[in-house]
Structure 1
C-alpha cells in the first residue's frame, strides 16, 4: 500500500486516493498549486469556510467518463446549433473563498467574454455556464461551487446525474437543464455513460447522436 506523500518537492497520491488537509490558508492552497507542477492529474480544492484543502488523484476510469460526458454535451450543442468553448483542466478561484478544478466546464451564453483568454479571472470574467463533476472516489457537493457560481452544475455519481442551478444565492436541484430543457438528461446521460463503458465511448457516442437525430 502506497501512502500519500507531500514534501517540499513532491505531491504523490495513488490513483483513487483523496487527502484532506484541515486548518489551511489560501496561501497554503496557492503553494500546493505551485508545487503540483507537472502532476496535472491531481485535483486540488480549497474551501475558505471550512479551511480545508482536498487533494484528489482520480482513477483511470474517471478520465474515460469525463471525456464521454463532455462528448455527449458537445453532441447536443451541435444538434442544437449552439456555439461553445470548453476547458479541461482549469483552475477556478474566488480569492480566499474557494478554489476548484471542475472535470469539464462549458461557456455557452458567455463564450464571447472569454474568447482568446489564457486565464479565467472570476474577478472580471463570468463563471462557466456549465460545470461537470464525475464522482467515482470522492464526493462533490453543490456547496463546493457556491462562491464560484457556475450557472449550472452537473454531478455524475454511480450512474446518476444530479442537476443544480444557481439562483444567485445557492444551488437548487432541478429535474431539467437550463441549457437543454427539451431533453430527459437524467435518463439519457446515465444510459449512454454506462453504454460507453460497456461497448466503448465512440460507439456509444454514435448511438447517442443517432438518437438525437430521431428526436
Structure 2
C-alpha cells in the first residue's frame, strides 16, 4: 500500500480514491505523504481521497482566509489560524484537511498546543473549503462537529451552520452575524483577482471598518 501511494502522481485538479483503507494504513499513508505535500486528503470509514488543488483553488483559499483574519482583527477577537491541518477522529474513522480553518471561541483551549486530538480537543470553530473540484465533504465536518463551514464555489459563498448535529444553510455567519458576507465576500474576491491582492484586501478592511462604525 505505501509503495503504491508513493508512486501515485495526482495532477492539479485531479483526485485519486482508495477504498478499503484501514485506520492504521491511513495513518501510515499520512506519514508517508509528509506534511510538505501539496495534496489534500479526506478519509471516511475506509475511503481515502487524495486531491491536488488547482492554482485557482489556492489563490481563492488565501484571499478568503485573509478576509476572515481581517474580520477577527477588526473585531479584536483572538484566534488561531491552522490552515490545512489534518483533523482526525479514530473513534469515528474520519479525517479531513480543510483548505483553511480557525479556532475562535475555542482559541484559548488550543493555544500553545502542538498537536490536536479531536477525541479530546474541540474541532475548529470555522472551516473553509474552496470547492473547485467537488472535493468538499460536509458530512465529515458534520461528524467531527465543526460548528461552521464555508464553501466557496463558482463565485458564490455558502455558509453551513451545525444545528442539532446537522448542517443547515444560513444567510449569516454565526461568527460574524452583523456582516452580509454571502453578498460581499464574492465581490472582494473578484476585486483581488482583477485589481490586485493589496487593493482588494485594503478595500475589504475599509468596508469592515465602515460596518463597525455605522
Give TM-score, length-normalised by structure 1.
Answer: 0.91
* Contact 1:10–1:36 (CA under 8 A) maintained in structure 2: no
Among 206, 209, 213, which residue is 1:213 paired with?
Answer: 209
Deviates more, 1:175-184 or 1:27-36: 27-36
Which residue is equivalent to 2:73?
A: 78
Q: Does 1:25 align with 2:22?
A: yes
Equivalent residue number for residue 56 of structure 1: 51
Superposition RMSD on alpha carbons, in Å?
1.6
Distance 1:140 1:8, change over 3 A: closer
Displacement after TM superposition at 1:38 (Å):
5.3
Q: What's the CA shift string for 1:72-100, capped at 9, x where partnerless?
A: 01111112121111111200001152100
> 2:177, 2:146 → 1: CA distance?
17
Please tell me whether the aligned partners of residues 5 and 29 of structure 2 are also in contact (alpha carbons under 8 angstroms): no
Q: Quick check: 1:127–1:150 contact (8 Å CA) kept in 2? A: yes
Which is worse superposed, 15-24 or 157-166?
15-24
In the other structure, the counterpart of 2:44 is 47
Q: Which segments of structure 1 move beyond 4 Å, counting only runs of 4 or more?
A: none
Question: Which runs of 5 or more structure 1 residues have no equivalent in the other structure?
Answer: 1-5
- How many residues in Structure 1 have an aligned counterpart in Structure 2? 208
Q: Alignment partner for residue 113 of structure 1, among 109, 126, 140? A: 109
State the Cα distance separating 1:135 from its structure 2 match.
Answer: 1.1
Cα distance in 2, alignment partners of residues 26 and 189 from structure 1: 38
2:159 corresponds to which residue? 163
Q: Which deviates more, 100-109 or 166-175?
A: 166-175
Q: Give per-residue Cα distances to partners, 1:166-205, cap 9 Å, x unaligned.
A: 1242111111110100111101111111221112222100
Point out the structure with the larger helix share.
2
Please list, as runs of the form range in 1=range in 2, the aligned pairs for 1:63-212 lying within 5 A after superposition.
Answer: 63-95=58-90, 96-212=92-208
Shift in CA distance, 98/38, structure 1 to aligned 2, threshold 3 Å: closer
